[in-house]
Amino acid sequence: MSNLNRKRSKQIQMGAQSGQAIVLVALLILVLFGMLGLAVDSGRAYVDRRDQQSAVDAAALAAGDWYENYSDLFGSTIPNSLQVYESNLHLYTGPSSTTWSHEVIGPSANLPQDTWDYTFNGGYTLHVVATNTQFNGYQFVFTSAHNLPLAFMQLFGGSPTIGINATATAIVGNQRQTPALLTLSTGGCSLKLTGAATLTLLGDAYANGTACVDSNLQEAGNCYGAAGSNCSSATYYCYNSTPGFVPYPPPCNPGDTQGAPVVPAPTLPDPGYLAPSVGVYDALGFQAYRKNNRGTWTEMTPGEYASFHLTGGSASCAFLDPGVYDWTGGYQSDANGSLLSNELKAPDEQDESRPGTSNTAPLQFWNMNGTNCAGHFTVAVVSGLGPNGLKHRGGNGPWGVELTSVRWDNFIDPTIGPNPCFAGAGCRRESAPSECQQTNTIDTNGNGINVSITKNAPGAQYYNVYVNPNGCDGTQSNFAFTGRFLAPGWNDAGGPPAFPIGGYPNGGPGTVLKNGTGGYACGAAGVTICGINFPSLSPTVNCYSNVRFANCMPADNEIQPQCFSSCPPPAGLLSQENAPFDLQYLPYTGGDEANENYCQAPAPAGTGDPNSPCANAKITPGAVQFYFGSACFSQNSQGATYVFSGEQYNWISIYMPASNGCSNSLNGGASTQFIGTIYTPGAAWSINGGDRSPLAGQVICFSASVSGSAAVGIDFNPNYSPAPPAARLIN
């Protein structure tokens, strides 16, 4: 073949190869575009996923923060967290549709759960689940979904959209890592739990060192300890997180949990709690511990006490005004016939099992420990009042009379707020009702009723009087408020707060309550109840707890004595308990309005969580704190100390700084209880006693030895423990 032919053949071959390359390049371009489309859509999906994750993380945390601060699920928590979600995703038009549902879940069907579903323009949906897990905190789950339009992949036969999801879970108020007893020492037997009979601990026992226990310990919770702890020797009972729960041996009911040993366990750090109000009360310079000697009881004011020894004798009682008590010389209570407390109780306390009747409590609080300090009153008919006389259905009939003890108290630390008890008259406290006392009147005789205080109730500045035109019929809702009266020995210049006047009488014959205000004007000088016509007392009304006007019903009654390891306790052995926490405004009844279960105006009407009525309150009006800078504490079982702390002190009832290395003793009998937390990170405790748990709260200390007999131990109650951790993400 000639060179010319060879050249032409080669050119023909090159032309054919060139055509094949164009096809390959075209196919390669399609692949490249596909890869580019995948990269672009994948990147957009990643960005969308991150945007949604950031939105639900922020919304879930916001929900926890709003609930912790305001405890208003519907009014603020969900609406504000929804706004956070919308802002993060630039959804400025709000949801196009909303649905809500409510149910009760859990093994015992006792955990309220609310669910919301929102739809937004642009293909976004949001699913929110809020669950009140009680002891384990309020849990918020936010789940976001978005149908992301694909820019390129649908050109290659793929779906036009892809579903992108993100979820976040936040929890607030979780007390699962809040043990009943925590010892910070890492030494041997830093926690020693033994009992001559049975010793019950409701809640977790946690030792940073070794825990030394025996089978007499009935542990209703887990036992945590360092390596070498013999937690397996304990007897493990059933428990759950419900305040006031009574532990019992297995098998456990659905929803309850049997404790177990956890060894070895990591150490828990010192929470480093503070006592910020100590200096405010020390600055007052109170040195004398007796304010008003009222015969059978003494009223004490907060401040410094160089030495204090509560001795016995004949009915030695002391009522504590609220505030910080700095025991610079130590605190010792060791004598029979003594009782120190800040509990406000009515004279002749009502029997909780027979309210509205002429039956006093089997054991009145201020008669505990053989003191006989409880208040007392009588009723009597007076005649000749003419038109001011009582009218009972045009003839005659019975009247039932009940009293409550009332006082106003201030909390003077301006750095803790909101503080409704700081200025003016302070916060009003009203006890549960007394027994009912009955008398009869005749219309034609112009009768009235005098109420006489024959013994002042400890701490009472006023008495509220309630009458029932059906007598002592056992129906509390038939009692109507008729007036507030100054207690003997007090004056108020026309309005609270009251101040003591000379003599400080303890009551007695002729100390008639008169010149009442706020209810029915009597019109007859020196008479307690008159000028009322029977029909005007009906119907009675449930009033906001901070006000009383004519026909308001009394405060809630007390409830049965504390159950710890068995219920009910023997009659007459333990005093009755205060009504539980409740919202104060209608339609709620207010619960306890004087003592440990009372929080001042936690929320305006229409807001608040009935399951956590005091969650956003900052003040417990009657609360006290015992502070020991370097001094020690000694409570003997023959003496009696029954005090409650409160919100303003982070529920710490006894505080010792870390520098205080005292060895303290708390031997609590049936009349001793500290409601709140003992926080002494450098001090040791020996705790024992009988019949009643001497502690209703928590103990955090350097080391502890707990022993005793009967129903002895620590009754962990989350209501009386320091605030749990703030909101945090757990998923």
Distance, CA of 464 to CA of 8 (rounded, Å): 124
Integer-rounded Cα radius of gyration of the chain: 34
- The most confident of the ranges 98-112, 179-193, 568-582 is 179-193
pLDDT for the residue 25:
60
Distance, CA of 667 to CA of 693 (rounded, Å): 10
Q: Residue 504 pLDDT > 60, yes or no?
A: no
Dihedral of the alpha carbons of 362, 363, 366, 372, in degrees to the nearest 10: 90
* Per-residue pLDDT tens digits for 544-565: 888 899 999 999 999 998 776 6
**Alpha-carbon distances of 695 from 328, 540, 570, rounded to whole Å:** 23, 39, 20
Q: Please give the angle made by the CA atoms of 576, 624 and 518, to the nearest 5 degrees.
A: 70
**Alpha-carbon distances of 576 from 495, 559, 645, 650, rounded to whole Å:** 32, 6, 18, 25
Q: Residue 711 pLDDT > 60, yes or no?
A: no
Contact 702, 185 (CB under 8 A): yes
Closest by CA position to 351, among listed 292, 267, 430, 435: 435
- For tokens 């940073």, the residue is 208
Q: Which two tokens stand for residue 450?
A: 């005098």
- Rounded mean pLDDT, 482-510: 81
* Per-residue pLDDT tens digits for 607-625: 777 777 887 788 999 999 9
Chain centroid to Cα 238, Å, comes to 23
- Rounded mean pLDDT, 498-514: 73
Q: How far apart are the first and last CA of the chain?
A: 81
- Rounded mean pLDDT, 30-55: 75
- pLDDT-wise least confident of 157-171, 332-346, 673-687: 157-171
Q: Which two tokens stand for residue 222?
A: 């887990």
Q: Is 353 helix (H, G, I), strand (E, B) or coil?
A: coil
Contact 511, 451 (CB under 8 A): no
Q: What are phi and psi of 487, to 5 degrees?
A: -70, 150
Q: Is 365 helix (H, G, I), strand (E, B) or coil?
A: helix
For the beta carbon of residue 395, count every other beta carbon within 10 angstroms: 11
- pLDDT-wise least confident of 106-120, 337-351, 697-711: 697-711
- Rounded mean pLDDT, 163-169: 92
Q: How confident is the model at residue 287 (pLDDT cuts 50, 70, 90)?
A: very low
Q: What are phi and psi of 130, to 5 degrees?
A: -115, 120
Dihedral of the alpha carbons of 621, 542, 614, 82, in degrees to the nearest 10: -140
Asked if omega into 610 is within 30° of 0 (cis), the reply is: no
pLDDT for the residue 288:
42
Contact 464, 382 (CB under 8 A): no
Distance, CA of 113 to CA of 531 (rounded, Å): 52
Closest by CA position to 376, among listed 437, 315, 448, 449: 437
41: left (phi over 0), alpha (psi -120 to 50) or beta: alpha
* Per-residue pLDDT tens digits for 315-328: 578 999 999 999 99
Q: How confident is the model at residue 594 (pLDDT cuts 50, 70, 90)?
A: very high
* Per-residue pLDDT tens digits for 398-443: 999 999 999 999 999 999 878 989 988 999 999 999 999 999 999 9
Q: Residue 290 pLDDT > 70, yes or no?
A: no
Q: Please give the angle made by the CA atoms of 712, 718 and 721, to the nearest 5 degrees.
A: 90
Q: What are phi and psi of 195, to 5 degrees?
A: -150, 140
**Which of residues 270 and 178 earns the better pLDDT score?**
270
Q: Residue 190 pLDDT > 80, yes or no?
A: yes
User: What are the sequence ranges of the domains in the chain?
Assistant: 31-172, 178-269, 277-342+623-696, 345-537
pLDDT for the residue 14:
52
- For tokens 């009033």, the residue is 543
pLDDT for the residue 695:
78
Distance, CA of 619 to CA of 416 (rounded, Å): 9
313: left (phi over 0), alpha (psi -120 to 50) or beta: left
Distance, CA of 665 to CA of 662 (rounded, Å): 10
Distance, CA of 277 to CA of 279 (rounded, Å): 6
Q: Over the range 525-555, which residues count as b (16 or more CB within 10 Å of their CB) and which as e?
A: eebbbbbbebeebeebeebebeebebbbbbb
What percent of the chain is predicted at pLDDT more than 90? Answer: 49
What percent of the chain is predicted at pLDDT more than 70? Answer: 85
* E strands, 95-253, in order: 97-105, 111-120, 124-132, 138-149, 161-172, 181-183, 191-193, 199-202, 205-207, 211-213, 217-220, 223-224, 235-236, 238-239
- The most confident of the ranges 62-76, 163-177, 477-491, 528-542 is 477-491
Q: Which residues are paired to 169 by β-bridges?
A: 141
- Number of helices and strands (H, E) in the chain? 3, 42
Q: Is 397 helix (H, G, I), strand (E, B) or coil?
A: strand
Contact 112, 86 (CB under 8 A): no
Distance, CA of 246 to CA of 258 (rounded, Å): 13
pLDDT for the residue 578:
95
pLDDT for the residue 636:
81
**Which of residues 192 and 195 earns the better pLDDT score?**
192
Q: How confident is the model at residue 482 (pLDDT cuts 50, 70, 90)?
A: very high
Closest by CA position to 581, among listed 504, 662, 651, 491: 651
Q: Residue 289 pLDDT > 50, yes or no?
A: no
Q: How confident is the model at residue 337 (pLDDT cuts 50, 70, 90)?
A: confident
Contact 374, 349 (CB under 8 A): yes
Q: Is 541 helix (H, G, I), strand (E, B) or coil?
A: strand
**Which of residues 539 and 159 earns the better pLDDT score?**
539
Q: Which two tokens stand for residue 533?
A: 């016509």
What average pLDDT does the chain have? Answer: 85
Cβ neighbours of residue 546 closer than 8 Å, sequence gap 6 or more: 428, 584, 600, 601
Cβ neighbours of residue 173 closer than 8 Å, sequence gap 6 or more: 67, 68, 137, 138, 612, 615, 724
pLDDT for the residue 265:
87
- Rounded mean pLDDT, 699-720: 79
Contact 665, 684 (CB under 8 A): no
